[in-house]
Structure 1
Amino acid sequence: MTVFRDKGRIQKVWNQAIQYFRHDRSQQLDGKTQQQSASDQANKPFWRKKPVQLAGGALVLLTVAGFSGIQYVQANTVEFYNVYMNGTAVGTVSDPQEVEQLVLLETEEVQQANPGINMVLDTGTITYEPDHAFKGTPETAGTLDKLEGLFTSHAVGVEVKVDGKVIGIVKDQQTADEVLLRVQSKFAPKLAAAKKEAKEVKSLSFNAKDAKPPALDSKAASKQPGREVTEVEFIEAVMMESIDTDPEQIMEAEAIYKMLVQGSIQPTKYTVQAGDCVGCIAQKFDISPEVIYKNNAWIKDDKITIGDVLDLTVLQPELTVKTTENLVEVETIEPPVEIKKNASMRVGESKTIANGTAGSKRMTYRIVKQNGYVVSEELLTKEVIKEATPKIVERGTKVVLGEGSGRFAMPVSGSRMTSKFGKRWGRMHNGIDLTGNKSILASDTGKVEFVGTKPGLGKTVIINHKNGYKTVYGHLSSYNTKVGDIVEKGEKIAIMGSTGNSTGVHLHFEVHKDGVLQNPLKYL
């Protein structure tokens, strides 16, 4: 800033006073040559003596000039403000409001240049110090230009991490929540919609590995037949935090959604080795058997041979969505057959005395999936809705051995069902899988018609119950019977194993009626 200090007016008054004294002094010197009477000098009053008069006049002149100069300086003094940024002097302005207006304009300009993004203008710490100067001229324009050059800006976004890995940055928390809800809605649309409506995301920043999912209350579970998703959560830990970043790093919601659900594709080929089975390979590569069946449609009856090349390519999303489904099915209870023996009737002859009626029962399952693939099935409850009434048949007993009663018992003591009858992994599962006591028992009386190895089932026993029913026992480790043996209901016939296409030790159990595959749960 340029400052002028004008002292000329005061100097001029002073010079005039000096000239006056000098002129009077010369007159005194000239008067010494003249004779003055001593009485005249002695009789003059003090205040009329010329030296006193001259001094008083000079004092008056100086006082007047001083007051006049002060008023002139005050009238030409300019107030202004020194501007500092982070403690460093930048320049001067006439009013701090000019700097504040610059900040507002720059903020608006930065926001307009990056629409839809939360931008922050970095102005540092701006302070002001009041000041003044005679005829001062604040350098406002230059100071504002300098400040504008010192300002910077940045965007504020929300960084999304999955198990510590940075996936990307979105513009705000709402966008991040909506993307994660969209990922969940791919597998649980109703639950995700409910979360969105309630404006809450319950499992987004939650590591499912560190907590047990709440148990499904069988009493509260829906009794209507159908499938209902009761829980949805992420397997991985999802974290979100606000972060300062370059606006160029902010991603569109669609782009980060695709990264989360598509991830990367890892092409994988595998050559079947001795002892391999579909379930074993799936377990080895930590993938669902459904992936193997889907990628290798040529596999029939679970039969694979050494040297076969399997395509195990699977999409690897960044996020794994775990869903828990409540599946309710109503199964028919086939009428049990009561046989009344007639010793007078020959073997093979029969007569129906009373037709039975079918019953029904409600089966409730818990099915857990990861990204839509089934990883576990569990039977929760079994409730009889209507009891079946027996069909009474009279049959001849002459020379008939190994005929069943038509009432089947569980082939495993203390059993637990691990997989139900029906579609599984994109193909038909012909029976049910049971675990429990390792001794395998005949489900009903009958004659053993097969002991040996079957494709997919491994070591197998088949019993013909001589009444239209046959039962199949697969994945055995060893046998306790042979072809032709007559076995009684509950008699030990084998030991549970994991032969054939098996992912673990269990019994695969089937029921056939007149050559047609049946759901074993209708009879057990």
Structure 2
Amino acid sequence: MKGFKFTRGMGKLRNGQTAAAESSVEDQQDRMTAKVDGIAGTLGLRRNWLLATAGIVLVTTFLVGAGKQYVGANTEPYYRVMVQGQEIGTLSDKAALDQLFAKKQQEYQAKYPGTDMILQTEGITTEVDKAYKPEINNEATLAKLDGMLKAYAVGVQLIVDGKAVGVVKDQETATAVLNKVKQHYIPGQTAEVAGAKLMKTASSTKNITTASPISKKVEGANIREDVSLLPIKADPNKILDLDEAVKLLTEGVESPLLYTVQEGDTISGIAKRFETTQKEIFNNNPTVKELTLQIGDQLQLSVPQPAITVVTVEQISEKVIIEPEVIVRKSDQLAAGKSKVVRPGQTGEKEMQYRLTKENGLVVQEEWLGQTVLKASLPEVVYRGTKIVGEGSGMFNWPVSGARISSSFGARWGRTHKGVDLVSGNRTIMAADAGTVTFAGVQSGYGNVVIINHRNGYETYYGHLSKISVSQGQKLEQGAKIGVMGNTGRSTGTHLHFEIRKNGSAANPMKYLR
């Protein structure tokens, strides 16, 4: 811009002024040029800074990407093993956990082969996770978990009247146990009476020894208690097998028992019935004496009492010898007390039917159902003098009409009974045969009793009478009223205790009654 002169509108300038003006203009131009150059320099620096920054960003981006690729290449998945929400270790492979479970299950099943074992894995879970080069210790984790794993047995608990008595492995075994307990108290369908009896055959008068067969038919067997079955988790060491459970329910545990003495009981009979000893009974009951034992006395016993009571009802058929009827033909040609057999008699046979109710094999109720004659006896015919009144014929009628037997004769089913007990709606008691009253009063055990001597080797006893209608020494005809049925003496209810004794020994009245 040097040499450019401003002249418009100014007139003619002096030389000095002109030079000063030109100098000012040049200064302004220099300042403007300097500013332009400064701006250009500044722009150059900024461009260089931006280029450097872009390079750093590019390098950083490259390095970060490379780092991420490296970390990603070295990041591994793994499993955190949790027990009840608490981490106990890590695994690289979840299949190792399943293998441990299978191994432990096999170990427990092999240890308890007779039970169904269940491994307790509730609360054991896994959570998948990822980490850069994670530290995983499979062996330590599996070893720790191995020590924590437990198993239980699946079992069925037997509950009797609300009380747990034992555990078996399953429902099928429990049902088998209850059935076998019932079978334990069910006798065979046929059996032979222990001991032997004399039987006289029709073809021979020789006495031969034969067993009197008893046939048995079980009408039913039921468990009295309420029995329920409950599936449970059980200790495998407490699982009972079939035989152990049956033994537990049939043998029971030693427990105190208060026993009430019944008619016909003896200390030896009670000891045998409860499988104990007479000495133990006397030790537990120091005031009890054999000869003074009374019906209704209570004895303290210590005997095994099973948890279950099996009630069985059996129908019993027993063959009994029938003594021959004696037909007496009176003759005034014979002296009083003299007799003559004109035709020997022969025994017959009949079948007696009973129904027995038992609790765990012990008779608690006996019912006579009737009888069937299998072979009729042949009567014996005797001539006898008639000069003396009060002598029996040897033929015995029922001492009470419409009689029903409530207890039979003999040492059977754990009791000893010297006669038969009869009950009837008609309480009038009659002489079974003609004879003389030798006792009419009270005797121990019998209460009010009448004894008649038939003067032919036979005596009859009539016990527990409520009223006696005869007196000692009185001579009676067959069928004469001697008293009224009662409940005196050692008696558990109104009935007649009737005995027939032959030459002083008790005989089965059923052999003679017609």
TM tier relative to shorter chain: 0.5 to 0.7
Trace 1:224-263 onto structure 2 (pairs within 5 A). Answer: 225-228=213-216, 230=218, 231-247=220-236, 249-250=238-239, 254=244, 257=247, 261-263=251-253
- In the other structure, the counterpart of 1:410 is 398
Give the residue type in structure 2 aligned to 1:507. L
| Residue 463, structure 1, aligned to residue 452, structure 2 | yes
What is the deviation of 1:361? 0.8
Equivalences, count: 436
What is the deviation of 1:440? 1.4
Q: Match of 1:279, SS?
A: coil
CA contact (8 A) 1:292 1:311 kept: no
Q: Match of 2:292, SS?
A: coil
Alignment partners' CA distance in 2, 1:289 and 1:31: 130
Match of 1:167 among 153, 156, 165: 165
Q: Deviations over 1:40-90 (max 9, x none)?
A: xxxxxxxxxxxxxxxxx9999999999999987776554445555566666
CA contact (8 A) 1:233 1:321 kept: yes
Alignment partners' CA distance in 1, 2:486 and 2:277: 27
- In the other structure, the counterpart of 1:107 is 105
What is the deviation of 1:517? 3.1
Match of 2:262 among 264, 270, 279: 279
Give the residue type in structure 2 aligned to 1:107. Q
CA contact (8 A) 2:188 2:216 kept: no
CA contact (8 A) 2:274 2:303 kept: no
What is the deviation of 1:423? 0.8
Match of 1:432 among 407, 420, 426: 420
Identity of aligned residues (%): 40
| Residue 391, structure 1, aligned to residue 380, structure 2 | yes
TM-score normalised by length of structure 2: 0.67
Give the residue type in structure 1 aligned to 2:419. G
Answer with 1 or 2: which has the greater Rg. 2
Give the residue type in structure 2 aligned to 1:120. I
- In the other structure, the counterpart of 2:203 is none
Give the residue type in structure 1 aligned to 2:331. N
- In the other structure, the counterpart of 1:96 is 94
Give the residue type in structure 2 aligned to 1:477. S
Alignment partners' CA distance in 1, 2:512 and 2:369: 18
Alignment partners' CA distance in 2, 1:405 and 1:189: 42
Give the residue type in structure 2 aligned to 1:166. A
Q: Match of 2:262, SS?
A: helix
Unaligned stretches of 5+ residues in structure 2: 1-39, 46-54, 190-211
Q: Match of 1:244, SS?
A: strand
What is the deviation of 1:360? 1.5
What is the deviation of 1:432? 0.9
Distance 1:154 1:29, change over 3 A: farther
- In the other structure, the counterpart of 2:205 is none
RMSD of aligned Cα (Å):
4.9
Unaligned stretches of 5+ residues in structure 1: 1-27, 34-56, 192-223, 271-276
Moved more, 146-155 or 287-296: 287-296
Distance 1:468 1:420, change over 3 A: same
Q: Match of 1:313, SS?
A: strand
Match of 2:410 among 413, 417, 422: 422
What is the deviation of 1:473? 0.8
Moved more, 236-245 or 84-93: 84-93
CA contact (8 A) 1:288 1:374 kept: no
Alignment partners' CA distance in 1, 2:139 and 2:458: 101
Match of 1:373 among 340, 362, 367: 362
What is the deviation of 1:294? 6.5
Q: Match of 1:392, SS?
A: strand
Alignment partners' CA distance in 2, 1:420 and 1:504: 15
Alignment partners' CA distance in 1, 2:115 and 2:303: 32
Give the residue type in structure 1 aligned to 2:99. Q
Q: Match of 1:357, SS?
A: coil
Moved more, 86-95 or 362-371: 86-95
What is the deviation of 1:158? 3.6
CA contact (8 A) 2:181 2:249 kept: no
Match of 1:488 among 477, 490, 495: 477
Moved more, 353-362 or 110-119: 110-119
| Residue 442, structure 1, aligned to residue 431, structure 2 | yes
